[in-house]
Structure 1
């Protein structure tokens, strides 16, 4: 059976690599660097042909070989780009390999000081961990790394988005103090701009719910007062009044009043999945609380 165009290119590329590795042409004035460049070009062509054939695993493998050639040729920026192309191909069918390729991309980007691009790729890693593997812990770690790099590059809006995503994940993992810290960080930064100030009440609501989920209405009440001093309009919002009511129902150990308060809030501001989950956690703490005798 004749070779496909992709297979033919791959064979030529591998022969170039073998020749470059042996270095037999050096005595004739050749350059191992240029040979690896040529091999890299062939691997790239093979990868693109595999993509046309919709063989994404083979495309990713060819891009990965291209990346290795680019590195040996001293072309680190091209190596980073090749690893990214490998990741995009692997994402079609092999998310585990996509993560490994993205990690290689990040390594090259951080080495060259391109932290904004590294953050973009780290954010992709987080999304794959969550969407493909439901690995909230690793996803959370990647979101936080991305957020730090975005902050370093003054991309604060994008950094805040990642910190908020990390906070949501911390809460789902029942790591409530960490979640509260991230929500408050995003809220503090949002207060500095009139464009983002409106979103602060949402972050503080989530932080308040986390405090209640960790069975700590005292901290929830103290934080509510702190938020009111940071923004004098907060105490008049539905979110602040909702948290205040929930604190009272938790302190009273009254699950019926809690349920009524949640239903009333939901009628005006529809609860998303995250809030629904954490409110169920809070209700569980009330149901499990032993009555005082």
Structure 2
């Protein structure tokens, strides 16, 4: 026995493929509009049955009907609705639907919404799809659009996510660029200035993870010049301490500084991973021992 979703989809398919004929009261546009509504109803019926793939397919078909009538706003919303259904079980289809949504939003000048969808893609790729590199690109794309739309806070949030992903992928210069960009943007407001020391710490760790002690120490000096209060923070003292230990090839001293910092300020998983990479490079770099 077919479900209500099946029945509605069959009606929608029949309406979409029917001939408009020569009736004075009918037209191809009304045919596609009726098919659009039927596909939406079918999608909703499938959602009620937890048939997520079938629901997503119907919402995509609804979007196609909207496009045949040049209703781009409706089509964008339908593709977005489809992505929500696909996300339950088919993240790759959710991403594809969101990409179509983004294209339509950009054509209509709805750039903030396009940025929102880029951010959704990033979250899906990072969490569901396991594509960290793809998530990085999506977060950067979202951040760039937000910045162009003067949505600085939203842009910086995306750049922070991109920075951490870049660091996790070993793309340290790129991570540094993002962290320093967010830090610079945060200096101008009392509400965001407090977070600057965290961005400088993460950027400094990325510099050190890249194996360039000279550039790391130069970066720390630059951070102190940009924000004189940074020089008195635990973050700055910690960076200088581990940079000196790295420069001296002293793995034990490096470990001691990390343990001391972690005792008072718990290190998160991202920092811990970078610090382990740095520690390993001390042991493997012949010029440091």
Question: How would you bin the TM-score normalised by the shorter chain?
Answer: over 0.9
User: 1:89 aligned to 2:85?
Assistant: yes
Q: Does structure 2 retain, via aligned residues, the 8 Å contact 1:47–1:58?
A: yes
After superposing the two structures, state which structure 1 stretch, 211-220 or 4-13, moved more: 4-13
Match of 2:95 in 1: 99
How far did 1:153 drift? 1.5
How far did 1:158 drift? 1.1
Spell out the pairing of 1:49-64 with structure 2 (5 A cutoff): 49-64=45-60
- Cα distance in 2 between the residues matched to 1:4 and 1:138: 37
Spell out the pairing of 1:32-47 with structure 2 (5 A cutoff): 32-47=28-43
- Cα distance in 2 between the residues matched to 1:100 and 1:247: 44
Match of 1:5 in 2: 4
Q: Does structure 1 retain, via aligned residues, the 8 Å contact 2:20–2:31?
A: no
Structure 1: runs of 5+ lacking an equivalent: none
Q: Does structure 2 retain, via aligned residues, the 8 Å contact 1:33–1:74?
A: no
Q: CA RMSD in A?
A: 1.2
How far did 1:84 drift? 0.4
Match of 1:254 in 2: 250
Match of 2:108 in 1: 112
Q: State which of 17, 21, 26 in structure 2 corresponds to 1:24.
A: 21
Equivalent residues, number: 289
Q: State which of 151, 157, 165 in structure 1 corresponds to 2:153.
A: 157
User: 1:71 aligned to 2:70?
Assistant: no
Any idea what the Cα deviations from partners look like across 1:39-96, whole Å, max 9, x if unmatched?
Answer: 1011001100110111111100000000000110111000000000000000111111
Match of 1:237 in 2: 233
- Cα distance in 1 between the residues matched to 2:218 and 2:288: 24
How far did 1:291 drift? 5.2
TM-score norm. by structure 1 comes to 0.96
How far did 1:5 drift? 1.6
Q: Does structure 1 retain, via aligned residues, the 8 Å contact 2:246–2:288?
A: no
Spell out the pairing of 1:72-221 with structure 2 (5 A cutoff): 72-221=68-217
How far did 1:29 drift? 4.9
- Cα distance in 1 between the residues matched to 2:180 and 2:21: 62
TM-score norm. by structure 2 comes to 0.97
How far did 1:28 drift? 3.0
After superposing the two structures, state which structure 1 stretch, 173-182 or 29-38, moved more: 29-38
